[in-house]
Structure 1
């Protein structure tokens, strides 16, 4: 399912959830193969490269951006926005390394000069957090990885995590070690990038062919940290070691308590049982749906001039075919 209907069709579930609640959305439209839209979502300017995957990437990215904007507009209209911590993040790179030379020119780079340092930079993903009451947002230029996402969010929410086993760190802490470990042992730190077996100086973006003794010692320490993270993660997951950890304070759950069949009916039953104590948006809205607050339009509806151009182009093509 494309992102726009996916977000919109979530409303009948969201508005009946008891607050506070946790929910997760996985958007998939801005994903390989980044196919060109052929319906009323068509019309966003495509890139002009030899690679059709890259050409379509920007159209699907625009589609995702618009879908998220529509969803945020609904959250604001329904009253959920100012009562929610919202996290947006990407789970991996967008364009694979093998296609990056065709992408280079669009990023102001020379494809012949594109190297592993540039490939490493393409591994970056967004991590954005909205928290209620915060009106002086900023971009935090720090180094970290996906593994740091949960500790950062938990601390923002005021959750004491000292009894939890976590591989990551709080990115907003002054004490966190700035390093992003990758699955193959590569890493990125404020000063060095070690990617696919080549060490780079981040300031010059050039390979370090012969590191000094001091540089080598620093890089070795960073590499040891990365290796330890990966080895620890592998041991925990492959050997199921968390089953031996009994000091977290978390209570075991019974999977039988979680049933997602007929979820809409179950949510409504909960509202009826709670009565005036129900905290769902539906209940707070005098038992009226907020679905009408959701407005979604296609790219051509947002840009009627594009629709007119495409219709004229199709008419001209039709005339030529008849001739």
Structure 2
């Protein structure tokens, strides 16, 4: 079955999906509608996809027979549109983060339960070959006992991404909401559930934001994340590091070229343990996984529970910042 969907949002992410992703997945997904408040942006993407353009999801729902929606809107709109689509009986793929509050995460989960539809979150890292290969190497014992985890996300936000809703109007809101669920997701794949967070923030040059997170896992492992907007990006960044008693794992992520890999490093040298990839390849894998989950009635790789766990870590980090860096326990899953 080919899914008929509406692409909701014609900004930077919507453009990537319309230009680079959906044309390669026509056997699985047909974009029948493009929804955006901006008339010119929605018309441009719709023309490229052979779809029709609408100013609201409600208009698209009234005019089209749809199976699902792909939500690529600013963070604050994710939960409301996801719930609107679920209440209309549609499957949903929603850009990370799922929501900005725990209550909105619960609201989306309740709507999914009522609708009995598949909800997947467009969280890239669990789909990356490098992250999956690193998890397999941990499970196989290649690194020995895992001692600690670290992640790094450091780059300069490009003009097409530097929107007010992404930068945020309060301390650390932009950086943590935009990138925090990303690396939280990767750390949770590698280390399991996170149970406590302590966060610190430093300001620097105009527009520069640096945030660190110290996390404790349910297993007792410790981890850390460093986020920085304002430094030149590397062509290939080692964004993940696993320290073990026998070896280390480097997770290299590449954005503009297909050079991202996972490497096993020990006293004898380094070897690559997965095929190379570009980070942007994962956008296709996310959609393909969502479509297959719908077709086979299975959970998607990143569903509501995982996305909610990621959001809870960011919420705890924000609380920690407000409390001067105090460690904040997450409590039991909701």
Query: Shorter chain as normaliser: what TM range?
Result: under 0.3
TM-score, reference length from structure 2: 0.25
Greater per-residue helix proportion: 1
Q: 1 or 2, which has the higher strand percentage? A: 2
Q: Which has the larger radius of gyration?
A: 1
